[in-house]
Structure 1
Amino acid sequence: MSYRPWKIINGANGAIMGPQWGQPSKKLSIFWANMWPNSVLFYMDGTLEIKKIDEDYFLEN
């Protein structure tokens, strides 16, 4: 299990977007961060998982 840092953009509404180096074949639509009290985010297609560790977000691939 490896983690790669994500570049996070925090919008006024708390949305999480990125990564800026993104994978164009993947949908970048991500659920709202405040929908996940356990700080785990998923891509809409369920292929990737985001974990919040010590206030940083990482991409679990």
Structure 2
Amino acid sequence: MHDSDYANQLGDHLERILEGGADSLEAIVEGLNASGLEPPTKGRWTPDSLVAELQRLGA
């Protein structure tokens, strides 16, 4: 998957999670882990991996 495709998928997931009421980094991470979208490092999202990925993507 290309970075732009991945960034779009991540953005779509984040939008749904935030619209669903997530109001903390931990809640967003929980939502991402429930969504099935893996971080680039595989495994599960953590607050650190989410922050690092958003920085990498320039968000």
RCO comparison, higher one (Cα < 8 Å, 6+): 1
The structure in which a higher percent of residues are strand is: 1
TM-score (norm 1): 0.33
The structure in which a higher percent of residues are helix is: 2
